[in-house]
Structures are given as structure tokens and as C-alpha cells.
Amino acid sequence: MRRMPSPVKRQPAQHECPVPSPHAVIKNGISGVSPIVSSLVESSAGDMSLNAPGLRASEISIRSDIAELIGQLRELLGAQLVAYLGSVTETRAVRQWADGTRKPPAEAIRRLRLAYQVAGLLTDRDQPRVAQAWLQGMNPQLEDTAPARLIRDGNPDEVGPRVPAAARAFAAAG
């Protein structure tokens, strides 16, 4: 009887970097990541985010304390873009909002929650830099207007549905 050779285990090339699956990240834990970001990672492994892109980010934007949400938004998009979305000229205001030492106006809170929904939806599938570029770039689905500009300057009742719809279309195509 002839013996079959044992399979040779392929060693990754030096330039390859093994990327763990979301399930492995959840099983082994997430270190150094905030609870909101880790919950987004965890939701990418669950059924909810697979059936409705952005659902988890929407839930977080509604349930989270505004200071915590702004901190996470700043982590995803950077302080300058968050300041723009919140209609302030200095990133110091964003830091104070995130620290809880200053509260943003009600209209800014509404716009920042919408921005988080969009950023969370986009970062479910891409890196934060893609979400940053998408928010700042001209968008053909939004009459060639940057989504960040619509969020900041547009009527929230009108842009509230349009910007997330454009983000979902982008994420689906990606």
C-alpha cells in the first residue's frame, strides 16, 4: 500500500500580512479600541449589518451620549471635518464637545448624528479615509455636491434621507 505524502503547509510570504476575520477579532478581543468602534466591528460579523447596511451605526448615533459620539466621529473623520460638519471654525470646540466640557447647539447635534450614521455605514465596508474622502468629494447622486456640505448647510429633513441613501449606494457598489 502506497502512502500519500503529507500536505505541505504554505508559509505566507514576507510581504503578506494575515488579516483576521471579524469573527476572530471578536473571539480574541479588541484591544485599544473604543466601545463604539468595537461594537461596529462586532456588528460586521452579525446578521443585522449584513441585512441592513448602516443599521448598527444608526442605532449607535441615536443611543449614544453626544460627547462620546463626537469623540468617535472625530476618531473616524478627524477634528477638522467634524468642526466643518458642526459649523464651527476651530477644532478646539470639537475637543470640548468630545470632552463634555461644552455642548454643541441642538442643530449641530442633529447634523453630527447624521454624519455619524453615514460615517459608520461607510466604515462598515471601508477604511475611515474612504469615508472622509466620500464626505468631502463631489457626489453625482447628490447633484455633484459634497455630502459634508449638504449635512452642514442643507435642511436636515431633506438631506437626512438623501445622504445616507447615497452612502448606501456607494457602499453597495464598493
The rounded Cα 137 to chain-centroid distance in angstroms is 16
The rounded Cα 93 to chain-centroid distance in angstroms is 21
- Give me 5's grid cell: 505524502
Q: Write the pLDDT tens digit of every residue in 42-68.
A: 444 444 444 577 889 989 999 999 999
- pLDDT score of 173 more than 80: yes
The verdict on residue 30 lying in a domain is: no
The verdict on residue 61 lying in a domain is: yes
The verdict on residue 166 lying in a domain is: yes
3-state SS, residue 131? helix
The verdict on residue 33 lying in a domain is: no
Q: DSSP assignment, residue 45?
A: T
- Give me 74's grid cell: 472625530
- Give me 9's grid cell: 503547509
Pair 53, 124: CB distance under 8 Å = yes
* DSSP-assigned beta bridge partners for residue 112: none
The verdict on residue 87 lying in a domain is: yes
The verdict on residue 46 lying in a domain is: no
Q: Write the pLDDT tens digit of every residue in 60-100.
A: 999 999 999 999 999 999 999 999 999 999 999 999 999 99
Q: Write the pLDDT tens digit of every residue in 11-23.
A: 444 433 333 333 3
The verdict on residue 113 lying in a domain is: yes
DSSP string, 74-143: HHHH-HHHHHHHTT-S-HHHHHHHHHTSS---HHHHHHHHHHHHHHHHHHTTS-HHHHHHHHHS-BGGGT
Q: How many domains does the chain have?
A: 1
* CA dihedral over 110, 120, 65, 69, signed as positive or negative: negative
The verdict on residue 105 lying in a domain is: yes
- pLDDT score of 143 more than 90: yes
Task: State the residue range of the domain holding 108.
Answer: 53-173
